[in-house]
Structure formats: C-alpha cells, structure tokens
Amino acid sequence: MLTVLPPVSRVAIVTQKGIGVEVETAGEQRVFTIPDGESAKTLATIEDLCSGFSSWGLTRGDMVIGIGGGVVTDVAGFAAASYHRGVPVAHVATTLLAQIDAAIGGKTGVNLPQGKNLVGAFWQPTAVFCDTDTLTTLPEREMNCGRGEMAKYHFLGGDGMESLDLDEQVARCVEIKAEVVAADEREAGRRMVLNYGHTLAHAIETTGRYDMRHGEAVAVGLVYAAELAAAMGRIDIDRVDEHRRIVDHYDLPRALPAGVDDDELLAAMGRDKKAFDGLTFVLDGPDGVEPVHGVDPDLARNTLDRVR
C-alpha cells in the first residue's frame, strides 16, 4: 500500500471490531477501534480519536487510514480533517456502500440528535482502496445498504448498469461520483444530485425507530422522489415505473415502514441540510435530476401516501 501513499512515520488505523482487514505499513502503526454501527457517528467519538492521536504523538506529517464501511470512513475522515486542522487520510473500503459512495468524494461527518451528518467537513482522501472480494462475507442486508445507492446511480448517468457484473458496477459508480465531485466539490449546486432519494431516507433514519438500513431507506426515497416529481408535472408515469423497476431489480423495499409518523417525517425533511428555502428535494425532471427548492409541504405530505 505504501507504494501509492506518501511515506509517513506513523499511521493511525481507525476501524471497528470484526472487520479483519490488515494493512502493512513501513512506519509505526496503532489501531484505534470505534464502536460498531451508526452509534459511532458522534462528536464524542471524534473527541476520543483526536485525544488518542494526540497522546500517541500523531503529527501532520503522519496519516490516518480508515478500514471499514461508511461509518468508519465518515468518522476517520472527520477526525483526520479536525486533528491539527487536517492530516492526510486514506480509506480501505470494505462494504459496498463505502466502495461506491461513502468513501468517495471527501464528505465526512457525524450525527446530532436533530439529524444525520449535520457536523462534518470536506476532506479529500489521498487514496481509496476498493476490493470487491471483501464483500463476499457481508450479510445480505449490509449489501442492501450499498444497493440502494447503486439504484440511485442508475438515474445519475448509470443507465443499464444493473446488467454489469459487480466489479464493473462498483467502477461505474465511482466514476459517476468522481465526475460530479470534480465539478462541485463543496456541494454548491451540482453535487446535491448525489443526495437523490436521501431527503426522505434521512428523515426515516433520523427517527431511529424503524428497522430499515440506509440503502433500504434510500430505495424508498427514490420511489417517493419519483412520485413527488410526477405530482409536480416534472416526469411522467413511465419514468416513475422505471424507478420502481430499478428498486425491484435490487430487491429493495419501496414502501414506508409501518406506523411511520407523517408529521415527524415532514419536520425531519425540513431540517435537511440541503434546505434553505422551505422544503428542498432532489427530483428528476426534463433536464435530469436536480435540486428543487420551495416544494409545497402539503404536496410532500400527500405524496407520502404513494409509498405506503
């Protein structure tokens, strides 16, 4: 690995229990283990990591390597961006979600009780390593976390991607995301399309009461976004059906979990970090997928019935 990374004296490896991927480095290394699951994405975790880096003597001339899925790359990246106001970071992505989305593009962050990824930084990794062989042992629902994002890429220029083998799918997703990020690194406009399906998805996840993984929530969010776009006259029913077909192809849910609270979802969608003029959604339309501001709250509420 060090043949493609800059020479460093120390490498801080951030990972979670049970991942089982080792990295050989020429310099000294120390492993920092964070809690499993989404619960690790807190400011307290960042403080613990940075304190550990400091106690060990990590400097700007050293490196952080995140080994794991999207939680690890988000947390390791934010810790690297924050410590000493920025130390180099690289990622070894071990889940489908991380390989095609979370580890790519430099977005890092943690959650607050009010919502997902509300505190973070843009911090580009020096390198991202994706080996699809590491995906063979993942549970099916962990793969679903990535499949929801893969379904999203179909509508961002990945038409026909579902017929490719896994290696080619991962490469195509990375290519699409890299093109978008290169044009808009700080999410001033174009990069918002990468949040297609995520406004409702993050609202579902923020409530924390539903047994739905990220990619599964994104799948529901994609169908909802298509229904909302159709209700606004932006797309026709055939395009909505295409969204349903792609979600079905990846064997993902397209209905809200039972017992969902509409008021709670609308409130969470209003707090989405994309919003600055009422409700903001990323929606399909005649010019493709794009951010749409000032969506009518009543229409957004009524459209929830289309994904029950």
Options 111, 149, 172, 205, the catalytic residue: 149
Using a 10 angstrom Cβ sphere, with 0-12 exposed, 13-18 middle and 19 or more buried, the burial of residue 184 is middle
Q: What is the DSSP letter of 283?
A: E
Q: Which three-class secondary structure state does DSSP give residue 85?
A: helix
In the residue annotation, 177 being an active-site residue is answered as yes
In the residue annotation, 149 being an active-site residue is answered as yes
Options 10, 91, 195, 205, the catalytic residue: 195
CB 139 within 8 A of CB 172: no
Options 10, 116, 202, 273, the catalytic residue: 202
35: amino acid identity, one letter:
P
Distances (CA, A) of 16 to 94, 173, 216, 284: 11, 25, 22, 37
Q: Which two tokens stand for residue 17?
A: 């229990």
In the residue annotation, 111 being an active-site residue is answered as no
In the residue annotation, 152 being an active-site residue is answered as no
Cα-atom radius of gyration of the chain, to the nearest Å? Answer: 19
Options 172, 177, 213, 273, the catalytic residue: 177
Options 10, 107, 172, 273, the catalytic residue: 107
Options 91, 144, 154, 187, the catalytic residue: 187
Options 147, 198, 213, 273, the catalytic residue: 198
User: Bridge-partner residues for 284, per DSSP?
Assistant: none
Please state, in angstroms and rounded to a whole number, the distance separating the CA atoms of residues 77 and 67.
Answer: 11
In the residue annotation, 242 being an active-site residue is answered as no
CB 161 within 8 A of CB 192: no
CB 161 within 8 A of CB 172: yes
Options 116, 154, 213, 214, the catalytic residue: 214
In the residue annotation, 85 being an active-site residue is answered as yes
Options 10, 91, 172, 191, the catalytic residue: 191
Q: Which two tokens stand for residue 234?
A: 């932006």
In the residue annotation, 273 being an active-site residue is answered as no
Taking the CA of residue 232 as centre, how many other CA atoms within 13 Å lie in the half-sphere pointing to its CB?
23
CA quadruple 170, 150, 39, 44: dihedral, nearest 10: 60
Please state, in angstroms and rounded to a whole number, the distance separating the CA atoms of residues 163 and 156.
Answer: 16
Catalytic residues: 85, 107, 149, 177, 187, 191, 195, 198, 202, 214
